[in-house]
Amino acid sequence: MEKYLYTALFAPLVSSLFVALFASRPKMLFTGVIASILIAISMVSSFVLLIDVNTHGALHVNMMDWIVAGNLYIPFGFVVDEVSVIMMVTVTLVSTVVHIYSIGYMDHDKSFNRFFSYLSAFVFSMMILVMSDNFVGLFIGWEGVGLCSWLLIGFWYHKHSASWAANEAFIMNRIADLGMLMGLFLIYWNVGSLQYEEVFATLKDLDSVVVATIGIFLFIGAMGKSAQFPLHTWLADAMEGPTPVSALIHAATMVTAGVYLVIRCGELYSMIPDVGFAIASLGAFVALFAASMALVNNDLKRIIAYSTLSQLGYMFVAAGLGAYWIALFHLMTHAFFKSLLFLGAGNVMHAMHDELNIKKMGGLYGSMKATAILMSVASVALAGIYPLAGFFSKDKILEVAFNEGAYFLWFALFIGAGLTAFYSFRLVMLVFFGEKEYIKHGFHPHEAQPFVIYALLPLGLLAVIAGWFEHQFEGFTTRLLARYEIHISHGIEIVLIGATLCIAVGGIAFAIYKYQRGGFSKTWEEGFFYKLLSNQYYIPKVYELYIMRPFTMLSQFVWQKIDMKVVDFTVDSIARTIYKTGEKSRKMQSGNLSDMLRWMVVGMVVLLVLALFYRPMA
């Protein structure tokens, strides 16, 4: 089985390096095709491993040593167990679809080859992230996906906004990475190892404060990658990247790495329920907070980005409350329907010549039926309507919150479910139905190429059926992850499900009702709340004004005033003083006999005075 493991892991790397050879050449179709095939091979291997893990259990290999110094030993070791294999399957499946889709989407891009090289490099990094058997290995992937995200957000680097967003994403993630590194250091000095197995085995011997600190530090890392408040602003700006990138990196895989980390460290977090509850609370807050921003936004991709943010909040609620398999389940189903939603949005953008304002669309159903249907399916799944995938996973999270007695969190998620349904269908309505606004703006939309639509079908299918495998999924993953018992009586459970369904259906119905009649009146847009939401609670402005500008000004000050005017000036002054002293005292050596005699007398006097007053210590 090891050869499948290495194939799954390294096929994307081979793809990336091979395609990189042609990176600066003009478009060559075969680079996209070969990259897609290699990623598909990785996917097949992952599925083989899934079956193997199911029958034979986890697979663990130690490829080679990496860092060895002092007591520290870090190998390149990989583990394929119930958690990582689910991640591998999810990642490679979505990646394969995105690769094939990109052949169509990037068709006219002059950097077609370069794109595939980056995209495959991302898949490789993501595989390292999920397959590593130790924290530093995970950190390799963690930083690797960050690098690929930087490369891909800034893919159209001639655009100022794209390269700015790329830097923002990288730097914000670095802030969180520092927290994560601190967590790793703390683990090392308490356990003496960074291997998952040894760390989790030793945890129970550690002081609870240490464990809590480790948990907090690691979660800070997760907050960056999964764009949790207050490190969330980069995700919406990351939509500057090509849409397949948004689908793969900023919806399905990379941003869920933080959730994966918490799930992977489940044994750690279950020891510190208080920290877990804080994580869940932050998650519930983000679920509402992000959903509220999605309500008013008019940017097609940003709406979906906020939705991703909101759903990540849901996952953190489950993970924080100890329902790790449910978090993983929602992570998986979300990957399917959210990437589908993004890829559909990509079709719309192509049809509309990269126009993103949904107010300028409308009535696109007529010209792009397939995309409209796929996106509607994804939206229904996202809204959590029975029997689509989102229903099973999201509903479980609400049950968990209720089960823990965290009624406040449950209520937040409950409202969030309604908002999700509303904004999803606001988008569908404004894009595909209603008035054909695009005619006024002179667009001639067309459906995407057939193979692009076919490539999306697997995701569409999974968005529908993935939830039906809930029990198999639970049985499989809880071999490794902690079981989660729900003690709610059957009656209440039915009521809860009913209530959630109602609010979701209500949200959809309200959106359809409202936007069939032309939406909200203009006066809404003058209101305080609308402005607050459409400006993202003014948080990016606050960051700009109170962090970035002061930092720039302070840096200028430190350089020009402190370094040049104080430190360097002092050094030069010392040198100048020495030089001047020499210059001045040189006059003593004038060679004039009477001058010299006078100095001699001065010298004699000084020496005599010294001789008079100096008493050697007895």
Partner 1 sequence: MEHILSLLVFFPAVAGLLGFLVAKESIRAYGISVSVIEFCLSLILWIGFDSANAGYQFVEYYAFIPSYGMSYYLGVDGISLFLVILSTFITMIALIGLSIEKDIKNLIISVLFLEMTMVGVFLILDVIWFYAFWELSLVPMLYIIGGWGGERRMYAAIKFFLYTFAGSVLMLVGILYMGFLYYEATGIWSFALPDWYLLQVPFKAQLWLFGAFFLGFAIKVPMFPFHTWLPYAHGQAPTIGSVILAAVLLKMGSYGFVRFSLPLFPDATVYFLIPVAIICIIMVIYAAMIAYAQEDMKQVIAYSSISHMGIVILGTFAMNAEGITGSIFLMLSHGIVSGALFMLVGVIYDRRHTKMIRDFGGLAQVMPNFATVYGIMLMASVGLPLTVGFVGEFLSLVGFYRISWILTLLAGTGIILGAVYMLVLYKKSFFGQVVHEENRSLKDLNAKELSALIPLVLLVAILGIYPKPLLSTIDMSVQKMLVLMDQKAIEPATKELIMKANSIGGTH
| Cβ burial 204-216 (10 Å sphere, 16+ → b, else e) | eebeeeebbbbbb
381 neighbors 395 (Cβ within 8 angstroms): no
Q: Binding of partner 1 at residue 575 (CB under 8 A)?
A: yes
Q: Which is nearer to partner 1, 274 or 563 (CB)?
A: 563
State the SS3 of 144-174: HHHHHHHHHHCCCCCCHHHHHHHHHHHHHHH
Among 201, 495, 542, 558, binds partner 1 (CB under 8 A): 558
Span near partner 1 by CB under 8 A; candidates 164-172, 270-278, 281-289, 409-417: 164-172
Q: Least CB distance from residue 581 to partner 1, whole Å?
A: 15
User: Which phi and psi (to 5°) does residue 64 adopt?
Assistant: -165, 170
User: Cα(477)–Cα(84) distance, rounded to whole angstroms?
Assistant: 10
Residues 114, 117, 121, 122: is their CA dihedral positive or negative?
positive
Q: Binding of partner 1 at residue 136 (CB under 8 A)?
A: yes
User: Cα(422)–Cα(428) distance, rounded to whole angstroms?
Assistant: 10
Q: Least CB distance from residue 556 to partner 1, whole Å?
A: 5
Q: Binding of partner 1 at residue 201 (CB under 8 A)?
A: no
User: Cα(380)–Cα(372) distance, rounded to whole angstroms?
Assistant: 12
Q: Which is nearer to partner 1, 87 or 166 (CB)?
A: 166
Q: Least CB distance from residue 246 to partner 1, whole Å?
A: 19
Q: Binding of partner 1 at residue 516 (CB under 8 A)?
A: no
427 neighbors 367 (Cβ within 8 angstroms): no
Q: Which is nearer to partner 1, 70 or 616 (CB)?
A: 70
Among 174, 483, 541, 576, binds partner 1 (CB under 8 A): 174
Q: Which is nearer to partner 1, 205 or 526 (CB)?
A: 205
Among 554, 597, 606, 609, binds partner 1 (CB under 8 A): 554
Q: Which is nearer to partner 1, 157 or 408 (CB)?
A: 157
371 neighbors 344 (Cβ within 8 angstroms): yes
The string of DSSP letters for 5-74 reads HHHHHHHHHHHHHHHHTTTTSSP-HHHHHHHHHHHHHHHHHHHHHHHHHHHH--EEEEEEEEEEETTEEE
Q: Binding of partner 1 at residue 154 (CB under 8 A)?
A: yes
Q: Least CB distance from residue 335 to partner 1, whole Å?
A: 25
Span near partner 1 by CB under 8 A; candidates 168-176, 256-264, 317-325, 599-607: 168-176
Q: What is the helix (H) or strand (E) element at residue 76, kind and residue range?
A: strand 72-80
Q: Which is nearer to partner 1, 9 or 321 (CB)?
A: 9
Q: Least CB distance from residue 131 to partner 1, whole Å?
A: 15
Query: Contacts with partner 1 in 47-76 (CB under 8 A)?
Result: 64-72
323 neighbors 259 (Cβ within 8 angstroms): no
Among 62, 208, 535, 556, binds partner 1 (CB under 8 A): 556
Q: Least CB distance from residue 574 to partner 1, whole Å?
A: 9
Token reading at 436: 């054909």
Among 56, 160, 487, 517, binds partner 1 (CB under 8 A): 160
Q: Which is nearer to partner 1, 67 or 486 (CB)?
A: 67
How many residues touch partner 1 under the rule CB under 8 A: the total is: 56
Q: Binding of partner 1 at residue 489 (CB under 8 A)?
A: no
Among 14, 50, 89, 147, binds partner 1 (CB under 8 A): 147
Tokens 């001058």 identify what position?
A: 595
User: Cα(489)–Cα(484) distance, rounded to whole angstroms?
Assistant: 15
Among 157, 513, 529, 538, binds partner 1 (CB under 8 A): 157
190 neighbors 210 (Cβ within 8 angstroms): yes
| Cβ burial 355-365 (10 Å sphere, 16+ → b, else e) | bbebebbbbbb
Query: Contacts with partner 1 in 8-47 (CB under 8 A)?
Result: 23-24
Residues in contact with partner 1, shown as a per-residue x/- string from 86 to 125 under the rule CB under 8 A: ----------------------------------------
Neighbour tally for 483: CB within 10 Å:
12
Q: Binding of partner 1 at residue 188 (CB under 8 A)?
A: yes
Q: Binding of partner 1 at residue 212 (CB under 8 A)?
A: no
Neighbour tally for 82: CB within 10 Å:
21
User: Cα(367)–Cα(540) distance, rounded to whole angstroms?
Assistant: 37
Q: Which is nearer to partner 1, 187 or 464 (CB)?
A: 187
Q: Binding of partner 1 at residue 559 (CB under 8 A)?
A: yes
The string of DSSP letters for 465-530 reads HGGGGHHHHHHHHTTTSPP------HHHHHHHHHHHHHHHHHHHHHHHHHHHTT-S-THHHHSHHH
Q: Summarize as ranges the residues that interact with partner 1 (CB under 8 A).
A: 23-24, 64-72, 136, 139-140, 143-144, 147, 150, 154, 157-158, 160, 163-164, 166-167, 170-171, 174-175, 177-178, 181-182, 184-186, 188-192, 551-552, 554-556, 558-560, 563, 567-568, 570-571, 575
